[in-house]
């Protein structure tokens, strides 16, 4: 799928604006606090009904306004869609797909989005719940029924934790058995999905080596692995039994899918410990592109990729590698970057048919017309 048009009003520092993006790469330049990230958040609202920065949506409303509205027009399999999102201060959100009311689940199905921050907080150095969330989001987009399965587990886990917190153990076995049943189902779905993800990741790494022989060794040897949330040599039932005293002391459940993680290593070392910021960024991108590839195999179209703060911690050599990866993926991507890097991107001689450049200034967005053609 791809976005044909994005319009916003009442969004933070931005005035009423409309963007007609490229089907491939879209660079959004601007000074600090110009509204670059806000534009990505507008896109994210139409696919998730929330900000990817986990801030309250009311805080996205411009100070002198009482509401914000986003309109997104997209196309999927040659069929056009209109998605709107509206939020007024201290009221419930209103979302519509083709003028019909839509809930968050419907938005996620209709407008699949992936978001990656190229800042100090990235896939590698954020806590396990972030990587676990990415894994579950990718799995949801491949198997929509997973949404209800995980929601059931979360509700049962809350009940068990409530008993542990209040030291009320009479019904603890009942809720323990409930989460054991859910855990086995969740782990089977995750494990099957991760095997596909692992293969896609390894293929992308091989492709990188193919078009850049000088890629850093820690990128070329990087691997991803999945930790299920309890020891592999124990069944979930055995894990719960072995952790019971610990759970009672800590007053929450310490084994289960809610403790899962994705490990990213290179030559058996954790990339978080030894990898440069550039390496972390490239590996994070490869993980996201692997998810997009698995998604494409299942759904026959690609999700939209949002990348915030493109130039943070990345050197010129790896910048070219990032751009090549994105171009090869054929994914529609929206990337933000400080305006001082506009010349650097222009100097890459990107094909004007695949790339558009926009600049945000004083709440207004303008498309740059001077992108160079490939030579």
Residues 83, 128 share a domain = no
Residues 290, 141 share a domain = yes
pLDDT at 343: 84
Would you say 85 and 49 are in contact if contact means Cβ atoms under 8 Å apart?
yes
Indicate if the pLDDT at residue 208 is higher than 50.
yes
Helical (H) or strand (E) element with 82:
strand 79-88
Examine the fold and report which residue of 297, 316, 351 is the final residue of a domain before the chain moves on.
Answer: 297
**Mean pLDDT, range 284-298, rounded to an integer:** 94
Measured distance between the N- and C-terminal CA atoms of the chain, rounded to whole angstroms: 29
Residues 154, 289 share a domain = yes
Segment 239-266, tens digit of pLDDT: 999 999 999 999 999 999 999 999 999 8
Instruction: Tell me how far apart the alpha carbons of residues 293 and 201 are, in angstroms, rounded to a whole number.
Output: 9
Cα separation values, 188 from 146, 241, 242, 254, Å: 11, 21, 22, 19
Q: How confident is the model at residue 119 (pLDDT cuts 50, 70, 90)?
A: low
Tally the domains of the chain: 2
Indicate if the pLDDT at residue 280 is higher than 90.
no
Lowest mean per-residue pLDDT among 179-188, 254-263, 275-284, 355-364: 275-284
Segment 45-56, tens digit of pLDDT: 999 999 888 788
CATH code, domain carrying 22: 3.40.50.300
> Would you list the DSSP string of 209-250?
HHH-TT--HHHHTEEEEEE-SS-TTS-HHHHHHHTHHHHHHH
Residues 311, 184 share a domain = no
pLDDT at 120: 62
Segment 8-21, tens digit of pLDDT: 999 988 888 999 99
Examine the fold and report which residue of 255, 277, 297 is the final residue of a domain before the chain moves on.
Answer: 297
Residues 94, 53 share a domain = yes
Three-state DSSP state, 372: coil
Examine the fold and report which residue of 276, 297, 318 is the final residue of a domain before the chain moves on.
Answer: 297
pLDDT at 375: 28
pLDDT at 373: 41
Residues 293, 312 share a domain = no
What phi, psi does 229 have (nearest 5°)? 110, 0
Residue 261 β-bridge partners: 227
User: 312: buried, middle or exposed (CB in 10 Å: 19+, 13-18, 0-12)?
Assistant: middle
The whole-chain average pLDDT of the chain stands at 90
**Mean pLDDT, range 152-167, rounded to an integer:** 97
Instruction: Tell me how far apart the alpha carbons of residues 132 and 138 are, in angstroms, rounded to a whole number.
Output: 10
Instruction: Tell me how far apart the alpha carbons of residues 30 and 33 are, in angstroms, rounded to a whole number.
Output: 8
Instruction: Tell me how far apart the alpha carbons of residues 287 and 68 are, in angstroms, rounded to a whole number.
Output: 33
3-state helix, strand, coil in the chain (%, to 5): 45, 25, 30
Segment 315-372, tens digit of pLDDT: 777 888 888 889 889 999 999 998 888 888 887 777 767 899 999 998 889 998 754 4
Residues 265, 152 share a domain = yes
**Mean pLDDT, range 149-163, rounded to an integer:** 96
Cα separation values, 373 from 16, 54, 233, 337, 353, Å: 31, 38, 57, 21, 8
Residues 290, 191 share a domain = yes
Residues 191, 152 share a domain = yes
Residues 129, 8 share a domain = no
Segment 60-78, tens digit of pLDDT: 898 888 999 999 999 999 9
Please tell me which residue, 178 or 373, carries the higher pLDDT value: 178
Residues 289, 158 share a domain = yes
Residue 114 β-bridge partners: 305
pLDDT at 342: 85
Residues 125, 245 share a domain = yes
Would you say 272 and 124 are in contact if contact means Cβ atoms under 8 Å apart?
yes
Structural domain for 189, as ranges: 120-297
CATH code, domain carrying 244: 1.20.1050.90
């Amino acid at each position: 799928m791809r976005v044909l048009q994005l319009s916003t009003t009442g969004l933070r520092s931005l005035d009423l604006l409309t963007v007609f993006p490229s089907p491939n790469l879209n660079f959004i330049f601007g000074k600090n606090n110009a509204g670059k990230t806000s534009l990505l958040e507008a896109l994210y609202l139409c696919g998730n009904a929330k900000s990817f920065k986990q801030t309250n949506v009311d805080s996205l409303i411009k100070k002198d306004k009482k509401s914000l509205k986003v309109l997104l027009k997209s196309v999927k399999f040659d069929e056009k869609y209109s998605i709107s999102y509206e939020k007024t201060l201290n009221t419930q959100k209103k979302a519509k797909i083709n003028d019909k009311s839509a809930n968050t689940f419907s938005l996620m199905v209709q407008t699949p989005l992936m978001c990656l921050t190229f800042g100090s907080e990235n896939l590698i150095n954020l806590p396990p719940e972030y990587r676990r969330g990415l894994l579950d989001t990718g799995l949801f987009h491949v198997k929509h029924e997973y949404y209800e399965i995980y929601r059931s587990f979360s509700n049962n886990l809350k009940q068990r934790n409530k008993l542990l917190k209040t030291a009320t153990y009479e019904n603890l076995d009942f809720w323990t058995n409930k989460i054991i049943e859910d855990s086995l189902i969740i782990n089977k779905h995750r494990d099957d999905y991760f095997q596909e993800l692992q293969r896609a990741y390894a293929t992308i790494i091989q492709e990188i080596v193919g078009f850049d022989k000088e890629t850093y060794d820690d990128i070329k040897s990087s691997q991803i692995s999945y930790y299920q949330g309890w020891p592999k040599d124990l069944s979930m039932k055995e894990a719960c039994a072995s952790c019971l005293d610990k759970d009672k002391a800590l007053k929450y459940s310490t084994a289960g899918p809610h403790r899962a993680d994705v490990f990213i290593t290179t030559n058996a070392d954790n990339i978080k410990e030894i990898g440069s910021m550039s390496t972390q960024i490239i590996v994070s991108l490869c993980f996201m592109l692997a998810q997009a590839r698995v998604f494409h195999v299942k759904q026959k179209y690609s999700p939209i990729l949002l990348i915030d703060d493109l130039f943070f911690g990345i050197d010129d050599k790896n910048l070219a590698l990032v751009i090549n990866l994105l171009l090869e993926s054929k994914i529609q991507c929206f990337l933000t970057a400080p305006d001082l890097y506009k010349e650097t991107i222009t100097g890459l001689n990107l094909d004007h048919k695949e790339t558009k450049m926009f600049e945000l200034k004083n709440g207004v967005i303008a498309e740059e017309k001077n992108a160079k053609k490939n030579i």
